[in-house]
Amino acid sequence: MANHINFLLVVAAFGAYYYIQQSLQPTQKTVIVVGGGLAGASAAIEAHSEGSRVIILEKEKDLGGNSAKASSGINGVGSVAQKEKGVEDDVKKFVGDVVESGHGLADEQLVQILAEQSASAIQFLTSHGVNLDVLAQLGGHSSPRTHRPSPPKDKPPVNVGFAIMRALKEYIADLPEEEATVIKHAHVTQLLTDDKNGKKRVKGVVYKNQEGNDVEVKGDAVILTTGGYSFNTKMLEKFAPHVAHLSTTNGDFALGEGIDLAAPLSPSLRLMDQVQVHPTCFVDVNDLNSRRRFLAPEALRGSGGILLNHKGERFANELGLRDYVTKQIFQQQQEEEGPATAFLLLSEEAVEIFQRPNLKFYKFKKLVREFEGGVREFAEEFNLPVERVIESIVKYQKQKEEGQDEFGKKTFPASFNVDSPVHAMVITPCIHYTMGGLQISKNGEVLDSSLEPIKGLFAAGEVTGGVHGANRLAGNSLLECTVFGRLAGENASK
Ligand SMILES: Cc1cc2nc3c(=O)[nH]c(=O)nc-3n(C[C@H](O)[C@H](O)[C@H](O)COP(=O)(O)OP(=O)(O)OC[C@H]3O[C@@H](n4cnc5c(N)ncnc54)[C@H](O)[C@@H]3O)c2cc1C
């Protein structure tokens, strides 16, 4: 009998212990991520590693967004690549560059986080198998800190954004379905909210599925990672009418929908009039007025490419900030109709620095042409004054050797020689990135118009506004997506 009672007591004690343990375990959170670019993928991976169940809703047929198009690189200070190459750089210098580039409008608290977390962001990506071993010093940066992969020896090269998205997509796809669910063709149209003590709290979303039916998904937090509004002419006309007529490098999914989704909750919007026009977008001479253009990557100028106008003259420091170079190109416009164009030339040395295989795609698309007869042949082909073009090249080379450039260029990555083959492309400025968007706290929470966090709502990536101020530095968007995506994923899981 006594044994029997003892046995029952032991069972009861175990039962009570188990019950208490269970009730002490925080219940698993469900985090809904709207948009499957780099910010969304980073948020989802981090939320999952914090123990949340994640659901990624993407309106397109695959994850990727504009993130998969990125071609110049991602910034990082204190990375393995910087250490291996003996680059002297630090967080303070990086913060200084971002703040200066943002013309006083950058949110310095967010900039500090961006720079401090940059090495960890690079490490996060390399730990998922992304090779980021090549470093470049791009316009507005005071050190080489923009990372991209070297082209593989046995396979065609892919751009940095594609390489990153491929790795993160594979990682997410390998997670158990009940822990991480990806729903494609899921167009989120509404946030679900409830009222708690008179305060609205986000509890889920409604999305339209491929069959056109509305589906509700409930969760503990929603992270908006829907990207920018470069393809939304109406939004541009409202907030940035001065650029609304320009073409863009962005996909047609870049409609600023995260901003519309949050609108019923009166979010604080920052810098909606700040739109980055990239100085160098490829012009297809057979489709001069195209709405969408391929980006002529920043790394082309970072590798030593030089710009010439239609008179065959240089007119700018090619490594100046994007807004400066853009302005200089617009000032060269000769025709009243059509886009303002200029020429970007790469010497053989610049091609080697850019890495020849990386030009293959653009040559295939006939956006880059090689002139084996050198700049003379290039000038004749484009009806430029041949002697003036030669003069410009000779002058540039002399200034490079003397370290004194008439436009204030301080680093000269590549030499030019009049008789060597040259690669040439026609470029024009076009809309590339929207700096404006939802204002977020340092924890990635979306702030309302009183600057209070909206409960249950987070955001990261290009849908947010503030970190870049009036002008984004090359390589800082992929970094922003990784840093603030992870931060939002972590905090949404708390
Ligand atoms: C050609 C090009 C080159 C670039 N190169 C660089 C570079 O080298 N370095 C750099 O730092 N930055 C670069 N950028 C900028 C950078 O790639 C993007 O700004 C950044 O990747 C945006 O990431 P994101 O995750 O915020 O948005 P995106 O990657 O655009 O992803 C947003 C996703 O949300 C989805 N979505 C939108 N609305 C909804 C909705 N309502 N429901 C469901 N899904 C929705 C979209 O379909 C999309 O897939 C480049 C941009 C372009 C266009």
Q: Which fold has domain 275-430?
A: Flavocytochrome C3; Chain A, domain 1 (3.90.700)
Rounded to 5°, the CA angle 271-437-467 comes to: 70
Phi-psi region for residue 447, left (φ > 0), alpha (ψ -120 to 50) or beta? beta
**Which residue numbers are catalytic?**
278, 301
Q: Where are the domains of the chain?
A: 30-271+435-492, 275-430
Report pLDDT for 424.
Answer: 98
Ligand 1 center from residue 109 Cα (angstroms): 23
d(CA 74, CA 143): 13
Q: Is the model's pLDDT at 17 over the cut of 50? A: no
Question: Tokens 């005071």 map to which residue?
Answer: 142
Top CATH class, 30-271+435-492 = alpha beta
Q: What is the DSSP letter of 397?
A: H
Q: Which atom of ligand 1 is nearest to the CA of 253?
A: 47
Q: What is the DSSP letter of 378?
A: H
Confidence class of residue 119 from pLDDT cuts 50, 70 and 90? very high
- Alpha helix positions (H), 128-220: 160-174
Rounded to 5°, the CA angle 75-118-83 comes to: 75
Report pLDDT for 3.
Answer: 57
Q: Compute how many other C-beta atoms are within 10 angstroms of the C-beta atom of residue 139.
A: 21
Confidence class of residue 157 from pLDDT cuts 50, 70 and 90? confident
Q: Please give the average per-residue pLDDT across 427-440, as a whole number.
A: 97
Confidence class of residue 342 from pLDDT cuts 50, 70 and 90? very high
Confidence class of residue 21 from pLDDT cuts 50, 70 and 90? very low
Pocket test for ligand 1, best of 67, 189, 298 (most atoms within 8 A of CB): 67
Report pLDDT for 26.
Answer: 55
Q: Please give the average per-residue pLDDT across 441-462, as a whole number.
A: 98
Q: Is 446 helix (H, G, I), strand (E, B) or coil?
A: strand
d(CA 358, CA 350): 12
Ligand 1 center from residue 460 Cα (angstroms): 11
Q: Is the model's pLDDT at 468 over the cut of 60? A: yes
Report pLDDT for 13.
Answer: 47
Q: Determine which of 20-24, 147-151, 336-340, 476-480 has the lowest per-residue pLDDT on average.
A: 20-24
Confidence class of residue 5 from pLDDT cuts 50, 70 and 90? low
- 6 CB-near residues (< 8 Å, 6+ apart): none
pLDDT tens for residues 271-291? 999 999 999 999 998 898 999
pLDDT-above-90 percentage for the chain: 86
Q: Is the model's pLDDT at 441 over the cut of 70? A: yes
Listed residue (69, 490, 88) closest to 296, CA to CA: 69
Confidence class of residue 154 from pLDDT cuts 50, 70 and 90? confident
Q: What is the DSSP letter of 372?
A: T
Token pair listed for 490: 């972590």
Q: Which residues line ligand 1 (CB under 6 A)?
A: 34-40, 57-60, 64-67, 69-74, 160-161, 187-188, 225-227, 249-250, 253-254, 257, 295, 433, 461-463, 475-478, 481
Q: Name residue 261's amino acid.
A: L
Residue whose CA lies nearest to ligand 1 atom number 5: 70
What count of residues does the chain have? 494
Report pLDDT for 338.
Answer: 81
